[in-house]
Structure 1
Amino acid sequence: MIKRGMKPGVWLILAAFVLMLAGCGSNSGSAADPKSADSGAAAETSNREAAQQVELTISAAASMTDALQEIQQAYEAEHANVKLNFNFGASGALQQQIEQGAPADLFLSAAVKNMKALEDKQLIDSSHEKDLLANELVAVVNAKEPAQVSGMEDLKGTGLKKIAIGIPESVPAGNYAKEALTNAKLWDTLQPKLVQAKDVRQVLQYVETGNADAGFVYKTDALTSDQVKVAFTVDPSAYTPVVYPVGIVKATKHSQEAVDFYEYLQTDSALDIFKKYGFSVPQQG
């Protein structure tokens, strides 16, 4: 009821103010929205997990690419807080990167000498370094138009114009190939035919595309491609055994996570994946 003398506009303002106070009073007594609380808790948990996620950088020989990519899927599925980032390349080049301070938590080399060089410079934790895998050297030719090659001596044939190998100074597979060719007294003879590649996967690509008639790769690389076929397996006694060591880089900022992945690589689950891709476990002792 509007009192005499009170303007209608003033009354409306007072009424609105009373209603606002009533609304505030009723809200202050009500319970918080459970859905809103759940959403807030979930967001907080998600943010906490994201903040705790660790990224490990693993420098690994190019010949391990396929096996490690499968291992990555399995490992990350079991360890949601860890993201694996791989830096694949020639072992010699990766060694140099680590020497120059490039970020890396673990190193997987295709040759013992590259790991030992880093150990000697105290860049690898010697208490977390182990010979993990073994491999073997083969000669491959193009599957569609294969060169007639069944042994080392056939590489001298006039039908072969180009033979691909990894750069011996930085690519272990290339160094093993040089060893085998030297022992067969063919290294000097074949110099005009040799085409050098930055890593073993590039050797494979040269043969796949016909840019080389033959090439020296690991057995594991040959198994990854249906565009090449193995011409022959190189005599294992003609070159240093192919051993892949793994080690933790001392400069890692994620010691526990690095140790966890280092140990995982030695489990049956991981080794079974490596074996599927043609690797074997080296003889110990």
Structure 2
Amino acid sequence: MLQKARISVLWSIVLFLMAALAGCGAPDNKGAPSGADIPARSAGKSTANPAETAELVVSAAASMTDALKDIQQAYEAAHPNIRLNFNFGASGALQHQIEQGAPADLFLSAAPKYMKALVDQRFIDINQQKKLLSNELVAVVPTDGTAEIANMTDLSKDSVKNIAMGIPESVPAGGYAKEALTRLKLWDPLQPKIVQGKDVRQVLQYVATGNADAGFVYKTDALTSQQVRVAFTVDPELYKPIEYHIGIVKATRHPRETADFYTYLQSKEALDVFVKYGFSILN
């Protein structure tokens, strides 16, 4: 019995020592987060997801090219999550593109009728479009040109071989020019001389390169080139008022960002840029 008692005491001592050693080696986990609670970190990198960039497609009349590129720089600098992709062309051609489903968030037209067509077909809400700017129709000639042109009737002179103008059905400037020439009964007699361009900038190029002796463009276009000069300003009584309209396309994929840029284009900051390039502001 004494032998068994001693063995029992020895085992008790052994078990006590093992428990004590285990207690000293165990870490204190009280309050320590689990692996799932520890945020992932990487050196030099933020865990926040950067804001997605919204790319807006702006279909705009070619005559607005220079002003809008100027505005683009200022707007993108102030809104780093916005990219403006411009689709410049004849207003009529841009209208048809939108009708056929081409991507567009905002439409800027150089004539009211193209905006009205999209409103009537419900591509643009009537309450999300408005007139913004006006312009003047002028006749330009090459800076080094020799033909003496000071008015509309001078275009009939034998020294004037080619007259450039936009396609009247799709290029607003061409439509205004045709209207003025028709009022003066010059449209039919001048037909053999007329060379048509796909937009007003192509017309400007024809004159600047000497491929046309004269051409009808907007005042704002004439101011962009040192290779042409204004021969005369077309009497505004001879054609409908030139009005630029802006509107939000209903199918926009970025309604909030598009609305913000639409509003910005009506701000003093943006309007000052348009005025700098020769446009006039419409109330």
Interval of TM-score (by shorter of Structure 1 and Structure 2): 0.7 to 0.9
Report the alpha carbon displacement of residue 146 of structure 1 after superposing the two structures with TM: 4.2
Question: SS at 1:39's partner residue?
Answer: coil
1:267 aligns with 2:267: yes
Instruction: Give the counterpart letter for 2:50 in structure 1.
Output: R
TM superposition shift of 1:253: 1.1
Distance in 2 between the 1:40 and 1:138 partners? 57
Amino acid at match of 1:121: Q
Question: In the alignment, what sits opposite 2:45?
Answer: 40
Task: Find out whether 1:144 has 2:144 as its counterpart.
Answer: yes
Greater C-alpha radius of gyration = 2
* Number of the residue aligned with 1:95: 95
Please give the residue correspondences for 1:20-99 in structure 2 after superposition, counting only pairs within 5 Å: 37=42, 39-41=44-46, 44-45=47-48, 48-49=50-51, 52-99=52-99
Which residue in the other structure is 1:164 paired with? 164
Gaps of 5+ in 1: 1-35
Question: What is the match of residue 113 of structure 1?
Answer: 113
Q: Within 1, Cα distance between the matches of 2:73 and 2:189?
A: 46
Alignment partners' CA distance in 2, 1:198 and 1:159: 25
Amino acid paired to 1:191: Q
Aligned match of 1:33 = none
1:74 and 1:142 map into 2 onto residues whose CA distance is 33
- What's the secondary structure of 2:217's corresponding residue? strand
Q: Distance in 2 between matches of 1:144 and 1:193?
A: 20
Q: How far apart, in 1, do the equivalents of 2:97 and 2:147 lie?
A: 37
Q: Distance in 2 between matches of 1:38 and 1:237?
A: 69
Distance 2:169 2:145 in 1: 31
1-structure distance, mates of 2:128, 2:202: 31
> What's 1:153 paired with?
153
Whole-angstrom distance in 1 between the partners of 2:146 and 2:172? 25
Residue 38 of structure 1 deviates from its aligned partner by: 5.2
Q: Distance in 2 between matches of 1:266 and 1:157?
A: 44
- Does the residue aligned with 1:159 lie in a helix, a strand or coil? coil
* Residue 23 (structure 1) aligns with: none
Q: Which amino acid aligns with 1:168?
A: P
SS of corresponding position for 2:44: helix
Q: What's 2:245 paired with?
A: 245
Q: 3-state SS of the aligned residue for 2:279?
A: coil
2:22 equivalent in structure 1: none
For 1:146 and 1:175, the matched residues in 2 are separated by 27
Supply the AA of the counterpart residue of 2:61: A
For 1:142 and 1:74, locate their aligned partners in 2 and report how far apart those are by CA, in whole Å.
Answer: 33
Percentage of pairs with the same residue: 67
Unaligned runs of 5+ in 2: 1-40
Structure 2 partner of 1:232: 232
Aligned residues: 243
Structure 1 CA distance, aligned partners of 2:43 and 2:150?
A: 69
SS at match of 1:75: helix
Q: Secondary structure at the match of 1:88?
A: strand
Q: State the TM-score, normalizing by the size of structure 1.
A: 0.84
Query: What corresponds to 1:256 in structure 2?
Result: 256
- The two structures have a TM-score, normalised by structure 2, of 0.84
- Map 1:9-24 to 2 at 5 A: none
Displacement, 1:128?
Answer: 1.1
User: How far apart, in 1, do the equivalents of 2:146 and 2:85 lie?
Assistant: 37
Q: Residue deviations 1:62-101, cap 9 Å, x none?
A: 0000000000000000001100000000000000000000
Query: Whole-Å Cα distance in 2 between the matches of residues 274 and 38 of structure 1?
Result: 47
Aligned partners of 2:44, 2:178: CA distance in 1, in Å?
Answer: 63
Kindly provide the amino acid, as one letter, of the partner of residue 45 in structure 2.
Answer: G
For 1:139 and 1:206, the matched residues in 2 are separated by 13
Deviation of residue 165 (structure 1)? 0.4
Shift of 1:147: 2.1
In 1, Cα distance between the equivalents of 2:223 and 2:232? 13
